[in-house]
């Protein structure tokens, strides 16, 4: 099944991402840079490392398990998605569990009158 890898990512990771956003959306909104920078850096690094490993023949992917779209002509799109979503899950988890003093403060929607 050509969508097997993609469906694994969607069915396993997206509910976890959604759950984290349901719980911590205010925290994530206030800490968007600490979420996105590590995600982009780690996802890019892992994709590049994977491209080298594929190029050198260290591993490969079964074409019957992927949709056939490749980034840079080598890395299956599902693998790139896996790296970025995994990095986002880790970043979100760390931000959620950081003590309040180490996160950007969450601003309330209303301003208290003084």
d(CA 95, CA 11): 23
Is residue 109 a part of any domain in this protein?
A: no
Q: What is the pLDDT of residues 13-32, one digit of tens each?
A: 999 999 999 999 999 999 99
| pLDDT score for 108 | 76
Structural domain of 92? 4-96
Length of the chain: 114
Is residue 104 a part of any domain in this protein?
A: no
Find the Cα–Cα–Cα–Cα dihedral 52, 57, 58, 62, rounded to 10°.
100
Measured in degrees and rounded to the nearest 5, phi and psi for residue 25 equal -60, -35
Q: What is the pLDDT of residues 77-101, one digit of tens each?
A: 999 999 999 999 999 999 999 999 9
Is residue 34 a part of any domain in this protein?
A: yes
Number of domains in the chain: 1
Is residue 32 a part of any domain in this protein?
A: yes
Give the CA diameter of the chain: 66
């Amino acid at each position: 099944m050509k969508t097997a890898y993609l469906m694994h990512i969607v069915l396993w990771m997206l509910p976890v991402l959604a759950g984290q956003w349901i719980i911590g959306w205010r925290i994530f909104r206030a800490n968007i840079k600490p979420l996105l920078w590590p995600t982009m850096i780690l996802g890019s690094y892992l994709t590049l490392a994977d491209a080298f490993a594929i190029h050198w023949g260290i591993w490969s992917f079964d074409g019957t398990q992927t949709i056939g779209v490749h980034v840079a002509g080598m890395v299956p799109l599902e693998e790139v998605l896996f790296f970025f979503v995994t990095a986002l899950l880790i970043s979100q988890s760390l931000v959620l569990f950081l003590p309040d003093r180490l996160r950007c403060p969450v601003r309330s929607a209303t301003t208290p009158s003084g």
